[in-house]
Structure 1
Amino acid sequence: MDFQDWEMLATLHHTQNITQAAQHLFLTQPTLTSRIKKLEEHYGVQIILRKRRGITFTPEGMQLAEHAIKMLHEQREIEEKLNNMKHQVAGTLRVGVSNFFALNKMPKLLRLFKQEYPNVEFQVVTGWSREMHRLILNHDVHLSFIKGDYPWKEQKELLYEEEICIASPWEFNWQDLPHLPRIDYYTDETMKTIVDNWWYQNYKQRPYINIQVNQVETCKEMVINGLGYAIVANLVVRPYPELIVKPIALKSGEAITRKTWMYYHEESLQLNIVKAFIRFIEGLDVKAL
């Protein structure tokens, strides 16, 4: 097997789907299927079994996939060590980024860092904060930008803290919220728990949710267009002064906030590229970007 075979098997292992794997590898499905068949002929074993939805590996195929993942990891490590030995800030920085941060902060950060270090490339994975937490735990990325607090015993930097608030297209009284249309959106469990705890500490009724969407950005657009209010982190609606924004608070009057962190492993600081990026982030006011 060569590097392309390792990459193909690792991608199939991750996606468990021919179509998705082909898209990740920028191949057509027939080309990917042909490469799998050639590998099966070479080893004289069947590697995958097709199911109605996706694929599953045979025991022999799983051995090959695990070997491929191991080889890719070793290849990545040796490339990082060689780049580091040049005493240059170069190579590929692997970053996990929570959805909101990826949309609103990461492009600017990467552009500014690239201006300072033009020989750096980026491999960015986006998703929910819990997924980014898993990636950094498994050493799949050099660092992760995570919204909320997750178990972590290594290094982390607080980037900013923002209030959670009611964002509404019209003025409202707090006691009227249970009867007003609310736009809800799919979010991670930590944010959902914060909002639910606050709601049921203040109201006996369930909220009147009349629109449910997948992303906070869609939710924001619904609010802007006067379809209801939403409970969101402040930075989501900060650029829209026409909205009525009021922070939610504990019974004590203390504002309820959510933090955004940068998580990384101490050992990653041995890499010039990681050390340079962390110092770069520490020198910025990320919230103001």
Structure 2
Amino acid sequence: MKIEDYQLLLDLNQCRTIRKTAKSILISQPAITQRLKYIEEHLGGKIFLRTPKGLLPTPFGEVVLTHAENVLDQEDMLQEKLAQVEGKVAGTLSLGASSLYSQHFLPDLLQSFTKAYPDVTIDLVTGVSEEIRQAASPFHIAIVRGEPIEDYESFHLWSDPLFLLDTVPIGKGERPLIEFKSDPGFQKLIETWMARDRGILVKRSIKVDHFETAKQMMMRGLGMTVLPSSIIYEEKDTYSWLPLEKEGQAMVRETWACVKPGSRALPQVEAFLNHMRSEVSG
């Protein structure tokens, strides 16, 4: 069997239908069906059952899928070791990145990085910082907001002051606060500010899933929200805003690049780290 066969099995298991798999990997359904038939005949057993809810791995298939994951992991490790020996910037770069960073900063960074290093494959997972922090072990580099990851080599990227924004003058009466899903570190900053700033009347009545949703709702006059400086350059020219402060000092959200121990020995990791730091400093 080829590496591509093991990847196809994992794709089928993730997508659950041949149709969705074909759409995802840009291969025709008949070609996938034929290849799956060959793999099952080669291995001597049924890997998937076709059910109304999609493909379901058989006990035989579960063993094969576990083996497929191990084969692909070993292949990645081999490619990384070969690249390390040759000093070539290639292989897979596994990244975990906070939602804010991945939406507003990572696309441009990856565009310039992959242009400079076309032999590097990017494996990216995004989520709120706490999710990335909790699932950091597979990532070569985890980009998180708040506190750095313990026992990782961490590089400070920037400090992000927090601002309260609204469509009406701030402090002129009680207003709904539009909150969004975030990690405990951000929530602690909000709670600290609310406990100290008694001059602003807040009605905690709206909670959404994403900071961009909160911003859009604020822009439509549904309430005020707290956002970091890095994503509100234009909004500060249009809406009322107030910096969040604690004892006269700006309340900030830190951004860190946290590198898994030992990962900097991989050329693609060191190259991305240097590229990212040069972009931030530039």
TM range (shorter): 0.7 to 0.9
Q: 1:270 to 1:205 in 2, by over 3 A?
A: closer
| Partners of 2:148 and 2:258 within 8 A in 1 | no
Paired position in structure 1 for 2:212:
217
In the TM superposition, what are the counterparts of 1:4-43 in structure 2 within 5 Å? Answer: 4-13=4-13, 15=14, 17-18=16-17, 21-27=21-27, 31-43=31-43
Instruction: Please point out which of 225, 229, 238 is paired with 1:234.
Output: 229
Instruction: Please point out which of 247, 251, 254 is paired with 1:256.
Output: 251
Q: 1:256 to 1:285 in 2, by over 3 A?
A: same
Q: Are 1:281 and 2:276 an aligned pair?
A: yes
Q: Are 1:266 and 2:261 an aligned pair?
A: yes
Distance (Å, rounded) in 1 between the aligned partners of 2:184 and 2:9: 32
Distance (Å, rounded) in 2 between the aligned partners of 1:72 and 1:232: 40
**What value does the CA root-mean-square deviation take over the aligned residues?**
3.2
In the TM superposition, what are the counterparts of 1:23-172 in structure 2 within 5 Å? Answer: 23-27=23-27, 31-49=31-49, 53=53, 55-137=55-137, 139=138, 141-149=139-147, 151-172=149-170
- Indicate the SS of the match to 2:5: helix
Distance (Å, rounded) in 2 between the aligned partners of 1:99 and 1:28: 33
Distance (Å, rounded) in 1 between the aligned partners of 2:224 and 2:194: 14
Q: 1:116 to 1:55 in 2, by over 3 A?
A: closer
Give the C-alpha shift of residue 265 in structure 1.
1.7
Distance (Å, rounded) in 1 between the aligned partners of 2:128 and 2:242: 25
- Indicate the SS of the match to 1:181: strand
Q: 1:182 to 1:134 in 2, by over 3 A?
A: closer
| Partners of 1:167 and 1:230 within 8 A in 2 | yes
Query: Greater strand percent: which structure?
Result: 2
Give the C-alpha shift of residue 268 in structure 1.
1.2
Name the aligned partner's letter for residue 224 of structure 1: M
Structure 1: unaligned runs, 5 residues or longer: none
Identity %: 26
Distance (Å, rounded) in 1 between the aligned partners of 2:16 and 2:251: 42
Q: How many residues align?
A: 278
Name the aligned partner's letter for residue 282 of structure 1: R
- Indicate the SS of the match to 1:136: coil
Distance (Å, rounded) in 2 between the aligned partners of 1:185 and 1:20: 32
Distance (Å, rounded) in 2 between the aligned partners of 1:92 and 1:31: 27
Distance (Å, rounded) in 2 between the aligned partners of 1:72 and 1:58: 21
- Indicate the SS of the match to 1:172: coil
TM-score, scaled to structure 2:
0.81
| Partners of 1:48 and 1:57 within 8 A in 2 | yes
Q: 1:180 to 1:104 in 2, by over 3 A?
A: same
